[in-house]
Copies of this chain bind each other. A is one copy, B any other.
Amino acid sequence: MAEDKILDRLLPGRRAALKREILEHALACFNELGIEATTIDAVKTRCGTSVGAIYHHFGNKEGILSTLFFIAQDDQRAQLKAVLQKANTLQDAVYIMVRSYVDWVTDHPDWARFLFQARSAVAKGPHRQQLEERNVENYRDLKDRLFSLDRGPHEIIQSSELLPSLIIGPSENLCRAWLSGRIQVSPSEYRDQLAESAWRAIQRSQ
């Protein structure tokens, strides 16, 4: 399963076996019951461990939450960064970004669902500063990359704040709808349309 692969990659080894178990089952609980409704006892029972073990590894409920959150975000960002290396033009980059985003969500729907749900909790919790730092770094990197690429003859939207929203916004919105069950057909079906549309969206009028 895709979930296990993410955890195995970031927490390898036999030593971290229980830690992985806890994270895996906590993720499932958060997604099935909601973050506030999942109790420590529920994840304890679910992986047949003890509260002591959970608190030893994560400190508190928020610790589990933010660990999962940063793992997911790291994985998503790493994949984007890797494929974005190959882009030669801005148009390449836009297509790659959209496809990478849609692929990641459809490859890891449980992680993606969690990422959407947990963001606001992490943003308010004790790791908000860490989240903020990562965000500014990620967006700075992305902006630098986008502005370093060849734009060809095209007239592109100037604002660096607008650009990411125009490129990813529609895909994100559609993925949310899919993950919540509001729409049935997978966003991957719309991958190319989303990419083409994003490219049109960032052109300047006239």
Chain A residues within 8 Å of B, Cβ to Cβ: 33-37, 116-117, 120-121, 123-125, 132, 135-136, 139, 157, 159, 161-162, 164-166, 168-174, 177, 180, 182-183, 185, 190, 193-194, 196-198, 200-203, 205
Which of B121, B161, B201 is A177 in contact with, Cβ under 8 Å? B161
- Min C-beta distance of A108 to chain B, whole Å: 17
**Copies of this protein, total:** 2
**For the complex, what is the distance from the CA of A78 to the CA of B143, rounded to whole Å?**
37
Which of B33, B36, B169 is A36 in contact with, Cβ under 8 Å? B36
Taking A169-B169, A173-B165, A174-B169 as contacts, is the C-beta distance between A159 and B190 under 8 angstroms?
yes
- Min C-beta distance of A132 to chain B, whole Å: 8
- Min C-beta distance of A21 to chain B, whole Å: 23
Contacts A/B (CB < 8 Å), 13 sampled: A34-B120, A34-B123, A34-B125, A35-B120, A35-B121, A36-B36, A117-B120, A135-B182, A162-B170, A165-B174, A172-B173, A173-B173, A197-B202
Q: Are B174 and A170 in contact (CB under 8 A)?
A: no
On chain B, the residues within 8 Å of A161 by CB distance are 174, 177, 183, 185, 190
